[in-house]
Structure 1
């Protein structure tokens, strides 16, 4: 993760080394070698954000990129905010470490989990989640990824008990994910409150335009961010809605650090998405940003 950026971009290398010193963590070990910490939410989140920002720095080293909007999926919103000036890069890496801790601590007390549901309309999934709540079960719509793909979150026994409910409603697939947290649902209420206090300390007063996961609208100041980023832990990620909200105003998209969203975007928009997951990808991107 991020090795090609580290080896080929002086800015990316500098960022990783500064982050290692600032956070007192050997990020070369965490990102470049097999280790158990990558399976722990507080370290996973740091690694993903650092990798995304290294990719961003590698591209910025070769072009004066100035996006009209920045957005992310769940954790990616924090990377997006950092690139738009809402956080110092080092501060956001420490912040998501705490975010991961808070989430894991809340979920360690319960059998938390998430399930992907394929092939159902949003309304059908929402109605089944409401039915589950009426039955005393904890199941919530968590990620609106693209048409026909929603991730639900809640308690693992409740999710497992509703697998056939989703399938009987016409789902092509309803599968528990290998996760020990229940992101973007009310089960993280305590983590949300704790995160709010940390956000207050590091958010800048103003920044460039970011699209919120919570409401698919643009925001650019601290007061809005404090509310939206706290709410993000307990409310669903409106990813496909966010892309649709800005699609008419953009020419293309760039994904930093991975290519997962590129796959989702193919199902949402006809605009091209360029994935920057290794240094070699920059050459293709430069053809359209220069």
Structure 2
């Protein structure tokens, strides 16, 4: 098995996430309790509060904590991955699992990052729409034309090679949807988000994060982690610049997955509240590539047993 590990991003959260894991797995509970001490509130209680968990400021620390708690609970059952990848916020989970960030450090950073994005997003409300279709150049051209007319609408997430999320000022996104419909795009879906993430509308949050990350120490990697922003592997030297640009730059998840496949990954495992990323992988990778997700106690037990069996076979 050549494992690629994926870490859920914001939007994956849901009320009650991780509750059965918290009640059943001591290592999971220990990780969540440690994060709760750092942020100053009970993360598991927040994860069960439908109103709070929908807010950026609370969702980001909760998702990062859940993802890392799953890794901690898997322990030695988890083989060293060939590479890691997280979607947006999930990059911090990936960097933590790889050793580039300590868990305490990541939780503290994400608490502040989530607060910056919440405040700036509230002050600069936006909208995001997923555009389905494999002619992403057409979408880019329509947006470029609108931008030349002063409209604030941008490519935000290249999730698969047939799904590109656009974002910006709500009225401008609505105009883009109209223009894309005229250009022949048949399917578009508005996303339930509070802001236009990964667009210039979040520039003030990026500025605040740049200041916040100044002086942070980054460690060496136990295994490679791919960046959504560049599509390439993070290095200690590029971490600061890449993470500060990430908030306002498009994510290239599809391209990063393809790079992992080119590296030889034949099995993907997503950890976090949802199976969104392995569903994206299904649209990118060959059918022979295996896909798993750990989102609750049942899936944890199933995947852990599979990993242990695989490990025994390779001894």
Does the residue aligned with 2:156 lie in a helix, a strand or coil? Answer: strand
Unaligned runs of 5+ in 1: none
> Residue 60 of structure 2 corresponds to which residue in structure 1?
45
> Residue 218 of structure 1 corresponds to which residue in structure 2?
233
User: Structure 1 residues 13 and 201 mapped into 2: Cα distance closer, same or farther (>3 Å)?
Assistant: farther
> Residue 63 of structure 1 corresponds to which residue in structure 2?
77
Is this contact kept in 2: 1:254–1:274, CA < 8 A?
yes
Does structure 1 residue 272 correspond to structure 2 residue 290?
A: yes
Does the residue aligned with 1:103 lie in a helix, a strand or coil? Answer: helix
Task: State the Cα deviation string for residues 20-75 of structure 1 (Å, max 9, x = none).
Answer: 122211112111x2342212211011111111112212222x51421121111111
Moved more, 276-285 or 223-232: 276-285
How many residues are aligned here?
287
RMSD: 1.6
Is this contact kept in 1: 2:39–2:111, CA < 8 A?
no
> Residue 44 of structure 2 corresponds to which residue in structure 1?
28
The equivalent position to 1:11 in structure 2, one of 27, 30, 34, is 27
User: How do residues 79-158 of structure 1 correspond to structure 2 at under 5 angstroms?
Assistant: 79-158=93-172
Higher relative contact order (CA 8 A, sep 6+): 2
Normalised TM-score (structure 2)? 0.86
Normalised TM-score (structure 1)? 0.93
User: Structure 1 residues 64 and 38 mapped into 2: Cα distance closer, same or farther (>3 Å)?
Assistant: closer
Is this contact kept in 2: 1:142–1:237, CA < 8 A?
yes
The equivalent position to 1:180 in structure 2, one of 194, 199, 202, is 194
Structure 2 CA distance for aligned equivalents of residues 175 and 253 of structure 1: 26
Does the residue aligned with 2:66 lie in a helix, a strand or coil? Answer: helix
Unaligned runs of 5+ in 2: 1-16
> Residue 77 of structure 1 corresponds to which residue in structure 2?
91
Is this contact kept in 2: 1:166–1:174, CA < 8 A?
no
Structure 2 CA distance for aligned equivalents of residues 94 and 45 of structure 1: 11
User: How do residues 157-196 of structure 1 correspond to structure 2 at under 5 angstroms?
Assistant: 157-196=171-210
Structure 2 CA distance for aligned equivalents of residues 11 and 284 of structure 1: 17
User: Structure 1 residues 199 and 65 mapped into 2: Cα distance closer, same or farther (>3 Å)?
Assistant: farther
Q: Report how far residue 89 of structure 1 moved.
A: 1.2
Structure 2 CA distance for aligned equivalents of residues 239 and 159 of structure 1: 22
User: Structure 1 residues 114 and 201 mapped into 2: Cα distance closer, same or farther (>3 Å)?
Assistant: same
